[in-house]
């Protein structure tokens, strides 16, 4: 990539999460951190000066490190994001020479919550929760619908449903102005636990909501600092079902404190409150800077981490589970959900989720059950999984304990669940 006539600038949200622990690379000239919109003028001036003059924005700074220069945007002077220009999706249409039926939209940055596993509140080198106004959002969406014929808008926000007052105002504007577009968003369950909110979202064109349920165990939710209850999760799913909103829930398996008993409670929760789709994810320590990796939290749960020889995701172990065990639990929970026709695996049906209708639920669940129960497929998956588990156990035993203890430590250690 690097040539005498060009320069390399590395940016993106993840850079903001690692800049304090990284010196850059010889191949990278500038590491751009924060709000890209605030950095464009500085980078443009640098380009036009023949890469000789680099000045930070008025709110920013430059830090010289071993290998690269780190250019910081600073943060906006106002709490709102209405100063950001509307992304011009017509440019993408011209470049790709086709219309875009679905586009992506961002209306918030940051997050007011501090879930123990999440780094979103700390991205953009900014710890404040900032958002666009309902009026600005509606104007943007009306532009996309009227000028480009957009039919779907996927909201990239960590929490599109907050603040709730903004959400209600936005939905009412969409309804009053007859801005007809279907939209998809991430939402907290406690917002969707309010039935009036769900009904208003549906009337305004909401099509699908993705909810971070994470676990059906109350203690696990407390360990995660979710500040959301199992009861709120239940009401959210039921409200969405009642008003015809497709639900996609995400769950984390293996978070510190996880046991076979807590996983059983998660399954029982899903069976009693079946969503349309589910994602299962193994707890990961790949992203530095999240609360669960703070020294105090690691001591509390006996969490230990080691580099993975085969991927970017480190191996981990805590007082009640290891990553090897978590992988096996994910497979078992996934198989159980499919065989018992509880919900649809979002990975398997990802390509068709936009066109999903509730009337298709039972036939799709039956199809999923039949596929997952095929003996040959199960044997192939079992062989692959055994190979992965063997490799993980071998690697972990080099750093943690003996292989037998690594594979069985959850049974021999006390549970912090009490």
pLDDT tens for each residue of 353-384: 999 999 999 999 999 999 888 776 666 656 55
Domain ranges, ordered by start, for the chain: 9-72, 89-375, 382-412
Tokens 């951190």 — which residue? 33
pLDDT of residue 23: 94
Architecture field, domain 89-375? Alpha-Beta Horseshoe (3.80)
Token pair of 245 as six digits: 């909103």
Q: Output the CA–CA distances (angstroms, integers) from residue 101 to 1, 84, 93, 223, in the order listed.
A: 33, 23, 10, 41
Q: Measure the CA–CA gap between 280 and 267, rounded to whole angstroms.
A: 12
Of 170-184, 209-223, 247-261, 279-293, the one with minimum mean pLDDT is 279-293
Lowest mean pLDDT among 49-63, 153-167, 337-351, 387-401: 387-401
- Give CA–CA dist 323/321, Å, rounded: 7
Per-residue pLDDT of 199-257, as tens digits, reads: 999 999 999 999 999 999 999 999 999 999 999 999 999 999 999 999 999 999 999 99
Residues in CB range of 192: below 8 A, 6 or more apart: 161, 198, 209, 211, 235, 236, 239, 240
Looking at residues 274-286, what average pLDDT do you find? 95
- Cis ω for the linkage preceding 163 (within 30 of 0): yes
Lowest mean pLDDT among 1-5, 171-175, 316-320: 1-5
- Whole-angstrom distance, CA of residue 92 vs CA of residue 382: 43
């Amino acid at each position: 990539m690097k040539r005498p006539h060009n320069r390399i600038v590395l940016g993106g949200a993840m850079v903001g999460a690692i800049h304090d622990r990284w010196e850059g690379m010889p191949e990278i000239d500038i590491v751009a951190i924060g709000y890209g919109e605030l950095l464009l003028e500085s980078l443009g001036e640098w380009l036009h000066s023949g890469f000789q003059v680099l000045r930070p924005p008025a709110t920013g700074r430059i830090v010289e490190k071993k290998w690269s220069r780190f250019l910081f945007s600073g943060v906006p002077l106002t709490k709102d994001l209405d100063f950001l220009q509307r992304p011009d999706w017509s440019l993408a249409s011209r470049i790709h020479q086709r219309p875009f039926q679905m586009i992506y939209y961002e209306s918030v940055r940051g997050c007011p919550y501090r879930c123990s596993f999440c780094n979103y509140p700390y991205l953009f080198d900014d710890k404040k929760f900032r958002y666009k106004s309902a009026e600005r959002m509606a104007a943007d969406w009306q532009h996309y619908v009227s000028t480009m014929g957009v039919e779907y808008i996927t909201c990239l926000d960590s929490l599109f449903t907050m603040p709730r007052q903004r959400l209600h105002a936005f939905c009412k504007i969409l309804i009053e102005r007859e801005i007809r577009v279907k939209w998809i968003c991430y939402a907290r369950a406690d917002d969707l636990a309010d039935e009036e909110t769900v009904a208003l979202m549906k009337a305004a064109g909401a099509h699908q909501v993705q909810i971070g349920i994470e676990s059906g165990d109350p203690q696990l939710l407390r360990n995660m600092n979710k500040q959301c209850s199992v009861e709120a999760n239940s009401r959210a799913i039921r409200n969405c079902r009642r008003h015809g909103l497709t639900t996609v829930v995400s769950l984390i398996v293996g978070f510190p404190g996880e046991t076979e008993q807590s996983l059983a409670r998660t399954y029982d929760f899903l069976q009693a409150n079946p969503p349309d789709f589910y994602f299962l994810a193994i707890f990961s320590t790949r992203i530095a800077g999240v609360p669960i990796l703070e020294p105090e939290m690691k001591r509390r749960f006996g969490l230990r981490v080691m580099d993975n020889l085969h991927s970017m995701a480190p191996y981990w172990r805590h007082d009640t589970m290891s990553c090897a065990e978590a992988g096996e639990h994910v497979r078992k929970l996934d198989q159980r959900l499919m065989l018992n026709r509880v919900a649809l695996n979002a990975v398997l049906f990802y390509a068709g989720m936009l066109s999903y209708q509730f009337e298709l639920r039972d036939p799709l669940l039956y199809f999923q059950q039949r596929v997952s129960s095929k003996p040959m497929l199960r044997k192939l998956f079992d062989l692959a999984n055994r190979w992965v588990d063997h490799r993980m156990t071998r690697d972990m035993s080099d750093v943690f304990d003996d292989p037998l203890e690594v594979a069985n430590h959850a049974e021999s250690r006390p549970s912090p669940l009490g």
